Amino acid sequence: MARSAHITAVKGFRDVLPDESARWHVLEVEALDVFSIYGFEEIRLPIAEKTELFARSIGESTDIVEKEMYTFTDRGDTSITLRPEATASVVRAAIEHKLISADNERRLFYRGPMFRRERPQKGRFRQFYQIGAEVLGRDDALVDAEVLVLLRDLLARVGASGTTIELNSLGDESCRPAYRERLLAFAEERRDGLCENCRQRLTRNPLRVLDCKEEGCRRIMDGAPLLIDHLCEACESHFASVRALLDAAAVSVTINPRIVRGLDYYCRTAFEITATGLGSQNAIGGGGRYDNLVAHLGGPAVGGVGFALGVERLGMVMAQSAQTRQSTVFVAPLTDDARSVGLCLATRLRGRGKSVELAAGGRSLKALMRHANRSGAHLVLIIGADELSARRATVRDMRQQTDHPLSIDLDSSGQDLVEQLSRLGGAAA
């Protein structure tokens, strides 16, 4: 048969190779522990939802809904979208399963892939992973502060370096519309200097002009009115409480009045976690409060606040502490007959919790030892023809470069093997 061209992954969809996934594992273990300490339970959500869910929650005029969703019609003529984020799904599920009511708070976390058809670049993918958490049922500033304390703790645990929590308030229905008009008037007067994208944003989503990355727009918007200077009394007091509580908990944050977020459901608290050294895609996480979302999706009128971390980006700034698991024992059968003995030995040792690498045959002793060396194993069990007839194996201590006999009783439970190996290899076994 002719050799075929190999098939590559879809653009923006990537493989997470063992070195990277080992780091993700550290992150997941730490996150699970922190979430449990803070009283969060895991929710596993479907990867696809009805398109309407995202249109209604994230907002029709956001970049995500307008341009970035993977949407298709299934055979039953339902419009389905691969989730671009999970907050909408959490709220949908909480309403559907009656997890929340006016006097019942719920803390949920999730992890998994999200899909956005953005232009791929460093730190930006079309399939990417998030770990996120939502507290549903409370509009108290205490919860906003607590969520940020949790984030600070989690980032410290995984050794994320160079990170900053940037905080803003986006106001609510009583102060944002008037501010929007004020901002629009300011930007309309300077329309000609704005980029094409921002000119479009003026009609659809003028707040987004504030966080345009174009140098020209930045310069123009430098003097623009800011929402935190035009908050209503209730939003002002909420924002002041969040800051005071964070101060009391010694969480350092930077107030950034230009944070607007790319999703429409936010009100009041909004934040982003940025990290140095990542280039333009420097947000490793984001979140905020969404007090109208639950009711807007048909649930009770209760508030919510949460965040999501981008796992790829966080992985890039985490301390390189993740160790790939190394086998401690390498089993090397040298003959065909020795293979079944090798398999039995490996199974017995694994049954006792030992990490074992079993070498498949067809290679010389020299080749096998080279492989054993690469595997990082401290002890190698060599089973050749001589060993087989004497019902033993030769154990090579790779660090001392010494050989020792090991008697094999294939009827035993394996404990005697572990004990013999422990005597030979000390802690290594």
For ligand HAM, which stretch binds (CB under 6 A), given 17-25, 304-312, 392-400, 401-409?
A: 304-312
Residues in the chain: 429
Binding flag, residue 294, ligand HAM (CB under 6 A): no
Task: Please state, in angstroms and rounded to a whole number, the distance separating the CA atoms of residues 153 and 130.
Answer: 17
Binding flag, residue 285, ligand HAM (CB under 6 A): yes
Span between the terminal Cα atoms of the chain, in Å: 47
Residue found under tokens 């030979």: 424
Tell the burial category of 206 from Cβ atoms under 10 Å away from its Cβ (0-12, 13-18, 19+).
Answer: buried
Other CB atoms within 10 A of residue 13 CB = 14
Q: C-beta of 263: minimal distance to ligand HAM in Å?
A: 6
Binding flag, residue 288, ligand HAM (CB under 6 A): yes
Q: Which amino acid is at 301?
A: A
Q: C-beta of 410: minimal distance to ligand HAM in Å?
A: 51
Among 59, 137, 171, 262, binds ligand HAM (CB under 6 A): 262
Could you please report the per-residue DSSP string of 159-177? T--SEEEEEEE---TTTHH
Binding flag, residue 134, ligand HAM (CB under 6 A): yes
Among 40, 110, 271, 307, binds ligand HAM (CB under 6 A): 307
Tell the burial category of 155 from Cβ atoms under 10 Å away from its Cβ (0-12, 13-18, 19+).
Answer: buried
Within 13 Å of residue 282, how many CA atoms lie on the same side as its CB?
14
| Shorter beta-carbon distance to ligand HAM: residue 235 or 372 | 235
Q: C-beta of 130: minimal distance to ligand HAM in Å?
A: 5
For ligand HAM, which stretch binds (CB under 6 A), given 127-135, 177-185, 205-213, 327-335?
A: 127-135
Residue found under tokens 């929340």: 100
Residue closest to ligand HAM when measured from CB atoms: 310
Instruction: Please report, to the nearest 10 degrees, the dihedral formed by the alpha carbons of residues 215, 220, 170, 257 taken in order.
Output: 70
| Shorter beta-carbon distance to ligand HAM: residue 132 or 303 | 132
Q: C-beta of 116: minimal distance to ligand HAM in Å?
A: 5
Which stretches of the chain bind ligand HAM, using CB under 6 A? Answer: 85, 87, 116, 118, 124-125, 128, 130, 132, 134, 262-263, 283-288, 306-308, 310, 312-313
